[in-house]
Amino acid sequence: MTDGTLETIDGRPALRFERTLPHSVERVWRAVSTPAELERWFPATVDWTPAEGETLQAYGATGEVTEVDAPHRLAWTFGGEHYRFELSAQQGGCRLIFTHIFGVRAIAAQVATGWHTYLSRLESHLAGRHLSEQEANKPWKNIHERYAERFGVDPTPGRRFAETLGGDNDDA
């Protein structure tokens, strides 16, 4: 799995993940937009259509779908942060670009590690397998340390978070 990159968009830190998936754009679209599929890999249950202007609520925060261009682009805000899936046809499948614009660069490694593991769950889901969150988090510490080093951020916040995951979380 390819690592994400840390960029700056509109003066804010942004994570960008790019994946080439051996599935059609339409298949990947269903996986990133349909509640029944999202619950198999995404960090939260999302009950949406999705439609532009639609509001979302979870974890005490509110969000809004800001763009839908099925089956190519889906964007939303949630808790003051911006998220976007972009899908395009590529020979042999689909190119997925996921972008998350957030507010605190200091936690970039932790956030990147989270999305890294969720995207691994998406890839498993698309391949017809179920990868539990617990299994996906096994290599969390190693992935996090790699991101912290690459991004030049203090790994302490992510290390504290890793303690809440339980288990050994040491596999590479």
Q: Which helix (H) or strand (E) holds 158?
A: helix 156-165
Among 123, 128, 104, 105, residue whose Cα is nearest residue 18 = 123
The arithmetic mean of pLDDT across residues 142-162, rounded, is 95
With 0.95 as the threshold, say if the pTM is over it: no
Tell me: the pLDDT tens digits for 93-110? 999 999 999 999 999 999
Q: Are 100 and 135 in contact (CB under 8 A)?
A: no
| Mean of per-residue pLDDT scores for the chain | 93
Tell me: the pLDDT tens digits for 128-143? 999 999 999 999 999 9
Task: Assign 172 a pLDDT band (cuts: 50, 70, 90).
Answer: very low
Q: Return the CATH architecture of domain 5-165.
A: 2-Layer Sandwich (3.30)
C-alpha atoms less than 13 angstroms from C-alpha of 102 in its C-beta half-sphere: 15
